[in-house]
Amino acid sequence: MKDAFDLEGAIGEVARQGLMRAPFDLLRSVAEHLWYERDVPDLSKVAPELRPDAGYLVDRLARFNVLAKDQKLKVLDALAPYQPSNPPTSDSKDPLAIKWGASADITMRLSELMPYQTRQYAASRNERKGGA
Domain that holds residue 98: 7-128
Long-range (24+ apart) CB contacts under 8 A made by 93-96 are 94/60, 96/56, 96/59, 96/60, 96/63
Tell me the torsion sign for CA atoms 98, 88, 48, 76: negative
Q: For residue 79, what is the enclosing H or E element?
A: helix 69-79
Give domain status of residue 58, yes or no: yes
Q: Is the pLDDT of residue 1 over 70?
A: no
> What residues contact residue 63 under an 8 Å CB cut-off, 6+ apart?
72, 96
Query: Is 1 within a domain?
Result: no
From the list 47, 45, 44, the residue with the least C-alpha distance to 16 is 47
Residue 47, C-beta contacts closer than 8 angstroms, at least 6 positions apart: 12, 16
For residues 68 and 37, what is the distance between their CA atoms, to the nearest angstrom?
11
In a domain, 65, yes or no: yes
pLDDT of 75: 97
| Tally of domains within the chain | 1
Q: What is the pLDDT of residues 110-128, one digit of tens each?
A: 999 999 988 888 888 877 7
pLDDT digit string, tens, across residues 53-101: 999 999 999 999 889 899 999 999 999 999 999 887 777 889 999 999 9
Q: Is residue 111 part of a domain?
A: yes
Residue 122 in domain? yes
Cα four-point dihedral sign 116, 15, 5, 42:
negative
pTM value is 0.90
Q: Would you say residue 2 lies in a domain?
A: no
Cα dist from 34 to 58, 87, 103, whole Å: 8, 25, 21
